[in-house]
Structure 1
Amino acid sequence: MLRDILTTEDAQSEAAAQVVAAARADVLLLTGIDWDHDLLALGAFADRVAAHGLRYDHRFAWRPNTGWQTGLDMVGDGRHNTADDAQGYGAFTGVKGMGLLSRLPIARAEARDFSGFLWRDLPGALLPQAAGADAYPEAVLAVQRLSTTGHWDVPVVLPDGGRLHVLAWYATPPVFGGPHDRNLRRNHDETRFWSLFLDGALPMPPPAGPFVLMGDANLDAQAGDGMSEAMAALLAHPALQDPAPSSAGARAARGPVPHDLGTVLWDGPRQPGNLRVDYVLPSADLRVRGSGVLWPAPGDPLAEVVATAARHRLVWVNIALP
């Protein structure tokens, strides 16, 4: 991936940089970007965006759970050190992680990483079941983290010295996962984590100040293969507000539900079509000035660039600073 970002000939990297530059966000969460120890890939992408006139001097990422090998047979297939045996599915350390780019300073010393939280420690965890009992042995449950990629609380420093907390996550798709619906259940609980967190029902307290919850939940509240009730409950949480960003591109795309809030297009004869799985949800105490999904209608000059950049579309929300 770093090689592709550094070359001038990679169409996807260039298109992604153009999309980011067009959005001109002050704080940007990237999902599906490979992590490396020195954040060379994240920095290279930020530099590529800078070539289009938008500088992100503040860059942040923790090592994701994807590709982080456990040394155990995590799925009971009799093999070790496969992509399935990592904390989050992945063939190598850091694959498809998250990265934060910001024009505002990042309060690194105050950031919190919840990615080590064990799945079984989530109240009411929907652990994989077989014959009415846990499908996996104690040795697996004792190390299996909830986060496929990560759950973060990263404060950015506002011009007046205050903090705006970025709550970020990137969940597993709810499909695949073997005979015990491992991914389906985990996806549900990765989203439900935030509802419990905001309720104060977890060992880590929610932020005292304003926040924005954002990421790729891989979960639509109305349709798709996931357990939609987890997303519906989060969107209705009293600590949050849902700006319901829409786009002309979503309105024109094939989808299973009659809304224009889609953020991804899985197109094909056996694909679900247009779903809403990517979210930017400000806390209830913030004033929203505008929102949208950067998904132009077919024929728009930017439409081909957006389609080349990624299957997922960029979601944006404009808030008034507290």
Structure 2
Amino acid sequence: MKRPWFFLAGGLCLALLAACAGSRTPMSTPTPADTDAAARPLRFATFNASLYDEEHGGLVARLADGDEDARRIAATVQHLRPDVVLINEFDYDDAGRAKTLFLKLYLGVGQDGQDPIHYPYAYTAEVNTGVPSGLDLDQDGRIGGEGRYHGNDAWGYGLHPGQYGMLVLSMHPIDEAAVRSFRLLRWSAMPGALKPVRPDTGQAFYPEAVWSQLRLSSKSHWDLPIDTPQGRIHFLVAHPTPPVFDGPERRNAARNHDEIRLWAEYLSPGEKPWLCDDAGRCGGLAEGERFVIAGDYNADPADGGSLPGSIHQLLEHPRVLRFATPRSEGAVAAAQAEPANRTHRTAAAHDTASFGPRNGNYRVDYVLPSVGLPVQASGVFWPQAGETGAGWLTATDHRLVWVDLAPDAR
């Protein structure tokens, strides 16, 4: 999460905003699938784009006026051209105005020598970030606060509802009637949840009245069934909270662990009557269903502030495919330039984010296919100086991670 850290005529901008009829509808009528679509690799990707603003409506205003970081993000997507991509940290608004502007004016327009790309399907929905809880979640004796502390008492940290939201773009139909969201699932519903404890007293950090209401997902967890040329694939996307910015009780680290655990539970056998989505449907993903897990999970396998084993809940899950870790030579060069990386244990080639000279680089962004979806190729887009896209890296502290599924993998 990066922290604070072409102009258009007004009439055209308003017309584009008015064209968005709801936030979860296709942007245009999809064109017929190519006859050889099943013979091509299917590229899934995740990209934390840092397209957020501290003000409500701020991202919409920036996109309408012309935003250089959005142009760089769009150029990256145009260059890699994923079939399905999750964009983390893209502010959500009820009318879908930011989504419309980004699709039409940035992805739909060639950026920095790249060809335009048009996604006929786009999905976004409410998230917990910035939504007031009405509770004292940080236990500072008050509800809300000034400045950055204002967001501590939201269901997920944020300065306004929808900040750090999620957006999924797809070349293939999303079965919206079958989408499952776990935004409202309470943390305390999870058996064996890592309830934060004050180490000096051994007492629970959250009073029972707060703990019993606290939501698990800091943004949301979505299961999006996508009907691809290779059959239906469930796109399991999320963005767990960073395991830092807390205190000795490690409440954010515990939440990060259990947000990751949610997908592990979703994939594991058993009835799981506690695992109920926002529509009241309970249980996990049926055996035999294929999936791709994607997102910024804020957990490195060996370094950083996450609890030990957090991301291994997915990396070592029996239903998750074992394959060569996505890598880049650019990440190796970047790690060598920052002394903080000298103590890191995760291979530098596997890094997906750069958090500055104090923290160094980490692997926190993942695209994890299920067993039965053979991987043909994968990578992390981290160009070195002089290579295409090197100038786009300033837009965000994360890198796009992609995985190509072998054609006709059914």
TM-score under structure 2 normalisation?
Answer: 0.74
Are 2:235 and 1:166 aligned? yes
Letter of the aligned partner of 1:17 in structure 2? A
Contact 1:280 1:315 in 2 (8 A): yes
Instruction: Report what 2:75 is aligned to.
Output: 18
SS at structure 2 position matched to 1:31:
strand
Instruction: Report what 2:223 is aligned to.
Output: 153
Residue segments in structure 1 that go unaligned for 5+ positions in a row = none
Are 2:371 and 1:314 aligned? no
Per-residue deviation at 1:139? 1.6
Per-residue deviation at 1:217? 0.4
Q: Which of these residues, 124, 133, 140, is aligned with residue 70 of structure 1? A: 133
Alignment of 1:1-322 (within 5 A): 1-8=59-66, 10-47=67-104, 48-52=106-110, 53-81=116-144, 82-130=150-198, 131-159=201-229, 162-201=231-270, 202=272, 203=275, 204-207=283-286, 208-243=288-323, 244-254=325-335, 255=341, 256-257=344-345, 258-268=347-357, 270-271=358-359, 273-305=360-392, 307-320=393-406, 321=408, 322=410
SS at structure 1 position matched to 2:78:
helix
Residue segments in structure 2 that go unaligned for 5+ positions in a row = 1-58, 111-115, 145-149, 276-282, 336-340
For 1:97 and 1:113, locate their aligned partners in 2 and report how far apart those are by CA, in whole Å: 14
Choose between structure 1 and 2: higher strand proportion.
1
TM-score under structure 1 normalisation?
Answer: 0.94
Letter of the aligned partner of 1:114 in structure 2? F
For 1:28 and 1:43, locate their aligned partners in 2 and report how far apart those are by CA, in whole Å: 16
1:221-280 CA deviation, whole Å, 9 max, x = no partner?
111111131212320111002441001111112232334111001122x22x11100000
Q: Which moved more, 1:76-85 or 1:15-24?
A: 76-85
Instruction: Report what 2:12 is aligned to.
Output: none
SS at structure 1 position matched to 2:226:
strand
Distance 1:15 1:242, change over 3 A: farther
Percentage identity across paired residues of the two chains: 39
Letter of the aligned partner of 1:49 in structure 2? L
Letter of the aligned partner of 1:3 in structure 2? A
Contact 2:89 2:165 in 1 (8 A): yes
1:108-132 CA deviation, whole Å, 9 max, x = no partner?
0000001211111222211111222
Contact 1:195 1:233 in 2 (8 A): yes
Contact 1:11 1:308 in 2 (8 A): no
Contact 1:173 1:218 in 2 (8 A): yes
For 1:242 and 1:185, locate their aligned partners in 2 and report how far apart those are by CA, in whole Å: 26
For 2:65 and 2:382, locate their aligned partners in 1 and report how far apart those are by CA, in whole Å: 26
For 1:2 and 1:194, locate their aligned partners in 2 and report how far apart those are by CA, in whole Å: 31
Letter of the aligned partner of 1:263 in structure 2? T
For 2:405 and 2:208, locate their aligned partners in 1 and report how far apart those are by CA, in whole Å: 45
Considering Cα pairs closer than 8 Å and 6+ residues apart, tell me whether 1 or 2 has the greater RCO. Answer: 2
For 1:133 and 1:163, locate their aligned partners in 2 and report how far apart those are by CA, in whole Å: 46
Contact 2:260 2:313 in 1 (8 A): no
Q: Which moved more, 1:289-298 or 1:127-136?
A: 127-136
Larger Rg: 2
